[in-house]
Amino acid sequence: MSPPSVITCRAAVAWGPGEPLVMEQVEVDPPLPMEIRLRVVCTSLCRSDVTQWESKAQPSLYPRIFGHEASGIVESIGEGVTEFEVGDHVLTIFIGECQSCKHCVSGKSNMCQVLGLERKGLMHSDQKTRFSIKGRPVYHYCAVSSFSEYTVVHSGCAVKISPTAPMDRICLLSCGAAAGFGAVWKVADISKGSTVVIFGLGTVGLSVAQAAKVRGAAHIIGVDINNDKHEKGKAFGVTKFINPDECDEPIQQVIKSMTDGGADYSFECIGDTGAVSTALQSCSDGWGLTVTLGVPKVKPEISAHYALLLSGKTLKGSLFGGWKPKSDLPSLVDKYLRKEINVDDLVSHDMPLDRINEAFNLMREGKCLRCVIHMPDNSCT
C-alpha cells in the first residue's frame, strides 16, 4: 500500500476567540508514527468547545479547529500502529490513555501522564500541528479537532468500538454523556436509596440523573435556572426540579430543608465555581460527597468555609467521569447497544457541518442539549 499523502478537506476554523467559525479548505498531514488519521463521521458540540472558544486566554492559538466529542473511521495509520486497521470505527478521546504510565497502570486514575489533556493546541508527540491552510499552521483542540472532515490523533487518543453502533449518537459518549455516567457510577459510586442533587441539567447533568436512577437513587433533585429543563429532567429521572431564581431563600437552604439536612451526593454540572461551594453546602454533614464535573468559564478559584470540611463532607474532582477511556468506553457503547443507557434523547439537533455556527448559538442561548454535526460523505479531494 502506498504511504498516505496530505488530504485537503473542509473544516470549520475559528480565526479568533469568539469569532464565528469559517468553512475553510485545510490540508491534513498524514499520520506520524503511532498516530492515525480519521474520517470524522459525526461530532457533537460540547459546552467545553464553546467555553474555550469564548475564552480570550489563549489568543495566540488561532486559527484553530475545535471539536472533541466525535466518532470516525480510520482512514490511514502511522508507523508502529498495530491496534487499529483502516476502516475501524472509533470514538475520539480527549484525555488519552497510553496504558503504560504511572496513572494508566494504576487502578485509580484516568490522568494519563503522556497523553493527558492537551492545552497548547498541538500534537502530544512532536508539539506541532497536523493541519495547515496554505502553509499556515492551524492549531488543534484537546489533540482531537473534530470540526474537520479529517483529523489526525494519537493512537492513544481514540478507541475502537463496535461497528454496529450508530455513529451519530454514540459520539456523545466521547465526552459529555459518559462523564455524567462515570461521575455517578465510578467517581461517587452512589448507593441505592440515596438522595442526589444535580446543579445544571445540560447533557452532563441529565446523564448524572439517568445514572443515579439506574443505581436506584430514591430522590434526584435537579437545579437549573432554565425552566425548560423541568420536563427534560423528569424524562431522565429527576424527581424534583428547583429553579434557584424562583426561591425565596438560598438554594442550599431549600435543599437542606427538603432533605433533612442535606443530600447524600451533589454534582456540579454547570461549570461555575460558585456552584461548587453551593453544592458542598447542599450535602449532608458527616458523609455528603460533592463531585465536580463542570469546567468553569470564569473565576477558577473555589472558595468554601473550612467548617464545611470539618463537618465531614468531601469534595471530589473528576474529569471524564473517571473513566479510563480506552479501557472503559467500549463497554459503555455496548451498554448503549443493549439499550441500558439512553443517549438518543440527549440529542436535540442534527445538522451538517456548514451550519455549525448555529449549533454554537443554540448552546450559548441555552436552547439545545447536544447538536450533532454530520460530516458530508465525499469529503476527500
Binding site for Zn ion (CB under 5 A): 98, 101, 104, 112, 114
Q: How many residues bind ligand APR (CB under 6 A)?
A: 28
3-class DSSP assignment, residue 7 = strand
Which of ligand APR, Zn ion, none does residue 304 bind (CB under 5 to 8 Å by kind)? none
Nearer to Zn ion, 104 or 206 (CB): 104
Which of ligand APR, Zn ion, none does residue 237 bind (CB under 5 to 8 Å by kind)? none
Q: Which helix (H) or strand (E) holds 222?
A: strand 219-223
Q: Which helix (H) or strand (E) holds 290?
A: strand 289-292
Q: Does 204 bind ligand APR (CB under 6 A)?
A: yes
Contact (Cβ atoms closer than 8 angstroms) between residue 290 and residue 280 = yes
Q: Does 46 bind ligand APR (CB under 6 A)?
A: yes
| Residue window 213-232: x/- pattern of binding to ligand APR, with contact defined by CB under 6 A | ----------xxxx--x---
* CA nearest neighbour of 282 among 270, 300, 268: 268
Which of ligand APR, Zn ion, none does residue 114 bind (CB under 5 to 8 Å by kind)? Zn ion
Contact (Cβ atoms closer than 8 angstroms) between residue 267 and residue 202 = no
- Name the grid cell of 42: 459525526
Q: Does 205 bind ligand APR (CB under 6 A)?
A: yes
Which of Zn ion, ligand APR, none does residue 51 bind (CB under 5 to 8 Å by kind)? ligand APR
Report the distance separating Cα 73 and Cα 86, nearest Å. Answer: 8
Report the distance separating Cα 198 and Cα 219, nearest Å. Answer: 11
Per-position DSSP letters for 51-114, written without gaps between them: HHHH--S-GGG-SB----SEEEEEEEE-TT--S--TT-EEEE-SS---SSSHHHHSSS----TT
Q: Does 342 bind ligand APR (CB under 6 A)?
A: no
Q: Does 33 bind ligand APR (CB under 6 A)?
A: no
- The single residue among 286, 366, 367, 376 that binds ligand APR, judged by CB under 6 A, is 366
- Name the grid cell of 61: 492559538
Give the shortest CB-129-to-ligand APR separation in angstroms: 24
Which of ligand APR, Zn ion, none does residue 98 bind (CB under 5 to 8 Å by kind)? Zn ion
Residues at the site binding ligand APR, with contacts judged by CB under 6 A:
46-48, 51, 176, 179, 199-205, 223-226, 229, 244, 269-272, 275, 293-295, 366
